[in-house]
Structure 1
Amino acid sequence: MKRVKYKMGKLGKYRFMKRFQSISSFLPDTRIATKANIKAMIRLYESLYLKPDTGTGGHGIYKIGRTKNGFSLRSGTASRHFPTIDALYRSIHSRLIQRPFVVQKGIAVLKHNDRAFDIRVMVQKNKHRQFIPTGIVGRLARPNKIVTNYHSGGTPLPLELLLQSHLKRDARKKYIQSIEKLGKTASEVLAKSYKTKRAFGVDIAVDSRMKPWILEINTKPDMSIFNALKNKTMYRRILSYAHITK
């Protein structure tokens, strides 16, 4: 079989998936990071994220927020303030022309012990070539950090634990199942373009109203985050599905 070269970055995936009604309402507004788009979107939303169009691990990500006296720009744990959005843009312009960036609506995500967290759902094909969720894990950000990625210092924890202060026991179980289902649906959609892929890592944020948002879908998902959990059941299951041949 001829190998397919995948060149679709975050913006390409967003535009492709936005066409499908089954997941379009779960996709946060995402655009190419031009000055005009940043200015327009910061008027619409409380915060924005600037992300490299291609790249993994949470590197090179910025968060823009509105403040009483202007705007804030955060990267890692550092924060700078600017009186105008034009001044803020000038400070990052050189970075944005070095490589393509996207600007995405910021989600006010749920927190655990005053630290933000999001979710990774691993979805893999079984021997019948059907996608099924094989793992789900919460990613707890380091204090005052804007990203939750494992390789940027995020802590992998059972989602059941992270949701304890937000949902009661029975509701938690149903909610986790709904997140797994969303991950499966999103993977099935993206697989219409990535037809030979057998696994996807779906990153999902949950807002204060418990609405899930699909932040990104990874076409080369890292399995090591599941090995970091004390309970290795999910990790072993993921490995067993990874060994299923086409």
Structure 2
Amino acid sequence: MKKIGKKSSGIRYSRYVMSKMRKTKAVEAKASLRQYVPTTKRMTHDTLKQMLAQHKMIYIKPDIGMFGNGVIRVEQTEAVAGKEKENIVEPLYRYQSGVKVRKFKTFDEMYTSIIKLTKNRPYLTQKGIHLLKHKGNRFDLRVMVQQTPTRAWETTGVIGRVAHPSKIVTNFHNGGTLKSVETLLRSYLPISQRKGYVRKLQGLGQQVAQAIHARYKGVKEIGVDVALDHELHPWILEVNTSPDPYIFQRLSDKSIFYKMRRYARAYNRPVKKS
């Protein structure tokens, strides 16, 4: 059953937005956020081919989906064929879905395989971000933003998600490991800069919440999935309007989860402590 938010005017708004593309468009509508959104388009034969040629590594994901299910990493590499002085550089293609990697000599062969895998469901193609790593495994961050009891937006937590060694997604429900953001930033920022950087992420989360809420008035909470590149530039990979606060119980500071639960109860979302 869909959760519905109600305004004093009597107008009822849906609390959840399922389409990733619709949420991306809402974020991009705020000019100051566009620098943080990787190029994202609806997947077709042409958009996939063009973006792969431009970026060499992209992700494709279902427009509607959860927990990283259905996400595929696609890459275009090059191989040299021929004899001396007659070398010809030829593109090679590969994709990874789950733990399985498949390789192809032509784009069309790969595309045919991808279409069989996606079963013609609506998919998006997104510029790939080469994630930072923790002990050799890729990680990203989940930024939790909620409406307070006074209806202001507050970033209530930031947590890191480290991918399983053999997988391309970081989701906890897909084998990922949860770490504090301070632990993950330790190798990339001196202690004097970490708190300021986390405050920047918190502010980014609040801006995203405001952008989503401007278009979708029923939204009460969001989880922003943020990738960090090697220059520590944050990239908004995805926005979840039904984020799971449970993962924040894994942090040593339990007050973070308790605040999330208190705010969630204020807008009538039950959160049970497991």
How do 1:16-165 residues align onto structure 2 when only pairs under 5 Å count? 16-69=26-79, 70-165=92-187
Amino acid at match of 1:67: T
Query: Residue 59 of structure 1: CA displacement?
Result: 0.4
Structure 1 stretch 57-66 or stretch 231-240: which is displaced more? 231-240
Amino acid at match of 2:249: N
Query: Residue 8 of structure 1: CA displacement?
Result: 5.1
Which is higher, the Rg of structure 1 or of structure 2? 2
Match for 2:13 among 4, 26, 30?
A: 4
Q: Is the 8 A contact 2:179 2:251 kept in 1?
A: yes
Structure 1 stretch 134-143 or stretch 88-97: which is displaced more? 88-97
Query: Residue 179 of structure 1: CA displacement?
Result: 0.8
Query: Residue 231 of structure 1: CA displacement?
Result: 3.2
Query: Residue 232 of structure 1: CA displacement?
Result: 1.8
Distance in 2 between the 1:230 and 1:148 partners? 20
User: Which secondary structure state, in structure 1, belongs to the residue aligned with residue 114 of structure 2?
Assistant: helix
Amino acid at match of 1:208: H
Unpaired stretches in structure 1, ≥5 consecutive residues: none
Match for 1:227 among 232, 243, 249?
A: 249
Normalising by the residue count of structure 2, what TM-score does the alignment of the two structures yield? 0.86
Cα displacement string for residues 82-141 of structure 1 (whole angstroms, at most 9, x for unaligned residues): 112211101011344431100000000111111000000110111221101001100000
Cα displacement string for residues 60-83 of structure 1 (whole angstroms, at most 9, x for unaligned residues): 110001223401100122211111
**Seq. identity, %:** 37
Distance in 2 between the 1:153 and 1:8 partners? 23
Q: Is the 8 A contact 1:206 1:213 kept in 2?
A: yes
Q: Is the 8 A contact 1:33 1:96 kept in 2?
A: no
Cα displacement string for residues 207-242 of structure 1 (whole angstroms, at most 9, x for unaligned residues): 011100001111111111112234322111111111
Q: Is the 8 A contact 2:162 2:177 kept in 1?
A: yes
User: Which secondary structure state, in structure 2, belongs to the residue aligned with residue 134 of structure 1?
Assistant: strand
Distance in 2 between the 1:18 and 1:213 partners? 12
Which residue is 1:213 aligned to? Answer: 235
User: Which secondary structure state, in structure 2, belongs to the residue aligned with residue 151 of structure 1?
Assistant: helix
Query: Residue 147 of structure 1: CA displacement?
Result: 0.1
The count of aligned residue pairs is: 246
Tell me whether 1:177 sits opposite 2:199 in the alignment.
yes
Tell me whether 1:187 sits opposite 2:216 in the alignment.
no
Q: Is the 8 A contact 2:61 2:123 kept in 1?
A: yes
Cα displacement string for residues 189-219 of structure 1 (whole angstroms, at most 9, x for unaligned residues): 1111221221111110000111000011111
Query: Residue 7 of structure 1: CA displacement?
Result: 5.4
Q: 1:210 to 1:7 in 2, by over 3 A?
A: closer
Unpaired stretches in structure 2, ≥5 consecutive residues: 1-5, 80-91, 269-274
Which residue is 2:89 aligned to? Answer: none
Which residue is 2:263 aligned to? Answer: 241
Q: Is the 8 A contact 1:122 1:135 kept in 2?
A: yes
Once superposed, what is the RMSD of the aligned Cα atoms?
1.5
User: Which secondary structure state, in structure 1, belongs to the residue aligned with residue 215 of structure 2?
Assistant: coil
